[in-house]
Amino acid sequence: MDDNKYCYVDKVFEKALDFKGRARRKEYWCFALFTFVIYISLTIISVNFMNDTGAILSLIFNLLILIPSISVTTRRLHDVNMSGWWQLLYLIPLIGPLVLLFFFIKEGDKGENRFGENPIKEENLETSS
């Protein structure tokens, strides 16, 4: 049995430069949770030590996850049959992030769409072999 069956963070980093295909909700939200926990940890470090250590670590972490974040978000939008360019909605205050949140929560297209096969179907094929 695969030890990382429920952990998709490694999958996001493996596909960091892959802007094609689809990412299921679980993959996207596991990565979001991972980054949130790291941000909270870095904030605690920054507040407790009252120096630039937390800020420097935050900067390094942000640089490390920039491309994987854009990639997994693009693939998540592909799963609901939307172009990755919809990420530009982040630039519209309040409304843009709310619209994107709707797309991130929405169930992906069943079956194949213009961006590829259903990732849930592909994952089931990998685990059954």
Q: pTM for the full model?
A: 0.83
Q: What is the pLDDT of residue 45?
A: 81
Q: Domain for residue 43, yes or no? A: yes
Q: Domain for residue 84, yes or no? A: yes
Q: Domain for residue 119, yes or no? A: yes
The residue segments making up the domain with residue 92 are: 9-128
Interatomic CA distance for residues 41 and 4, integer angstroms: 23
Q: Domain for residue 95, yes or no? A: yes
pLDDT in tens, the chain (129 residues): 355 555 778 888 888 898 999 999 999 999 999 999 998 988 888 888 777 777 888 889 999 999 999 999 999 999 999 999 999 999 999 999 999 999 999 999 988 999 989 888 766 655 555
Contact between 82 and 103 under an 8 Å Cβ cutoff? The reply is yes
Domain count, the chain: 1
Q: Domain for residue 3, yes or no? A: no
Contact between 19 and 72 under an 8 Å Cβ cutoff? The reply is no
Q: What is the pLDDT of residue 6?
A: 57
Which residue carries 């990732």 as its tokens? Answer: 119
Angstrom CA distances, 114 to 78, 80, 82, 108, 126, stand at 8, 10, 9, 12, 22
CB proximity list for 1: less than 8 A, separation 6 or greater: none
Q: Domain for residue 39, yes or no? A: yes
Q: Domain for residue 1, yes or no? A: no
Q: What is the pLDDT of residue 54?
A: 75
Q: What is the pLDDT of residue 1?
A: 38
Q: Domain for residue 4, yes or no? A: no
Q: What is the pLDDT of residue 106?
A: 93
Return the ∠ at Cα 39 (arms to 38 and 45), rounded to 5°: 90
Interatomic CA distance for residues 104 and 66, integer angstroms: 18
> Letter for the amino acid at 62?
N
Q: What is the pLDDT of residue 9?
A: 83
